[in-house]
């Protein structure tokens, strides 16, 4: 997926496509995570679709729940979903930043190699 340290850097257009692909992959992860949260709040806690969406979005965004949870199943789901959301946040951050960090390190490595050859 990424070029080897001895390969040249991608062109700016290719790098933009790589960034767009990473953002698209992150969007898919967020969409699936949000969808699973909405389904869980709707079917396990019995919230309406719009309230389930609001609660799932708030948890996934790190803000916290909006509606009071009344069932033990709903509370257990909310606990698991909150922990899952923390992992999703870290994963999405890594997916989006990986191409940028790789390019930075790759460029840094190329510069250090050019000094060694002199």
User: How is 90-113 classified by DSSP, letter by letter?
Assistant: HHHHHHHHHHHHHHHHHHHHHHHH
Confidence class for position 114, pLDDT limits 50, 70, 90 = low
When pLDDT is averaged across residues 33-58 and rounded to a whole number, the result is 96
Average pLDDT of the chain is 87
For the chain, which residues make up each domain, given as ranges? 12-117
Confidence class for position 7, pLDDT limits 50, 70, 90 = low
CATH 1.10.287.70 fits 12-117, yes or no: yes
In angstroms, rounded to a whole number, what is the distance separating the alpha carbons of residues 105 and 111? 10
In angstroms, rounded to a whole number, what is the distance separating the alpha carbons of residues 104 and 44? 45
pLDDT at 112 over 90: no
Q: Environment class of residue 81 by beta-carbon count within 10 Å: exposed (0-12), middle (13-18) or buried (19+)? A: buried
């Amino acid at each position: 997926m990424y070029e080897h340290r001895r390969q040249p850097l991608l062109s700016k257009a290719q790098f933009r496509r790589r960034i767009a692909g990473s953002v698209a992959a992150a969007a898919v992860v967020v969409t699936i995570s949000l969808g699973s949260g909405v389904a869980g709040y709707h079917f396990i806690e019995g919230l309406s679709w719009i309230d389930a969406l609001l609660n799932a979005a708030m948890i996934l965004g790190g803000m916290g729940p909006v509606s009071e949870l009344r069932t033990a199943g709903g509370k257990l789901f909310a606990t698991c979903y909150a922990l899952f959301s923390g992992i999703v946040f870290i994963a999405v951050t890594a997916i989006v930043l990986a191409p940028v960090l790789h390019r930075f390190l790759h460029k840094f490595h190329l510069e250090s190699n050019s000094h060694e050859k002199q």
